[in-house]
Amino acid sequence: MQQKILILGAGFAGMWAALSAARLAAMHDADDIEIAVLAPQPELRVRPRFYETEVASLVAPLQPLFDVTGVTFVKGEAQRIDTVNQCVWYRDEQGNSTPRQYDRLVLATGSNLKRDLIDGAAEHAFDLDQLESALRLEQHISSLAQQPESEARYARFWAKKQKRELLWSRGAIKSAAATAGNCGT
């Protein structure tokens, strides 16, 4: 009888769980084990580096790796886990609710940001939690250069300049500069 291992999630934990199970099955010539990964996309997203530029390049396709190791990829989003019947219900590409049986289940779904807990965060804040939101931030930053000149853009610069001028006029910077210039001579 075939044993079914179902892994929910294709991040680092899900990918390594699938590859490790496939390696162990191959080492023990266990042809009666089916290893499947259920996730929205067959790709590894390097989330810790989403703060970098060119965020779209931080995605690695997993399908070629799964094909070589005998791991089945199931495209969908888990909706419900029925532990009594050992079944995961997921939404497939067509939007249908579809069951998938398992003997062993690995939960490797990662984390999700709860933006609705802070009023206005969803509309006015950026995050680096997912590829799509990191791309929105990257696009927003790029678009700022196209914005017209405004006093608000330079407000911090002018505030610092005015503070320096005020300190200079009161002698604070003059005395600090004079002391630094002597260096004990």
pTM of the model: 0.68
Does 177 reside within a domain? no
Among candidate residues 95, 68, 71, the one with its CA nearest the CA of residue 18: 71
Say what the pLDDT of residue 185 is: 45
Does 173 reside within a domain? no
Does 152 reside within a domain? yes
What tens-digit pLDDT sequence spans the chain (185 residues)? Answer: 799 999 999 999 999 999 999 999 999 999 899 999 999 999 988 765 666 677 777 788 999 999 999 999 999 999 999 999 999 999 999 999 999 999 999 999 988 777 788 888 888 888 777 777 778 888 888 888 788 877 766 666 666 666 666 666 666 555 555 555 554 44
- Pick the last residue of a domain from 43, 77, 110: 110
Q: Are residues 39 and 61 in the same domain?
A: yes
Does 185 reside within a domain? no
Residue found under tokens 């703060």: 51
Q: Are residues 78 and 123 in the same domain?
A: no
Q: Are residues 134 and 151 in the same domain?
A: yes
For the chain, what is the domain count? 2
Average pLDDT in the chain: 84
Q: Are residues 20 and 76 in the same domain?
A: yes
Q: Are residues 90 and 123 in the same domain?
A: no
Q: Are residues 66 and 98 in the same domain?
A: yes
Structural domain containing residue 130? 117-165
CA distance to 10, 32, 86, 90, per residue, from 80 (Å): 17, 26, 11, 7
Does 182 reside within a domain? no
Does 23 reside within a domain? yes
Q: Are residues 7 and 90 in the same domain?
A: yes
Structure tokens at 22: 């496939």
Among candidate residues 104, 110, 106, 78, the one with its CA nearest the CA of residue 12: 110
Does 184 reside within a domain? no
Say what the pLDDT of residue 154 is: 65
- Pick the last residue of a domain from 110, 140, 173: 110
pLDDT tens digits, 53-68? 777 777 889 999 999 9
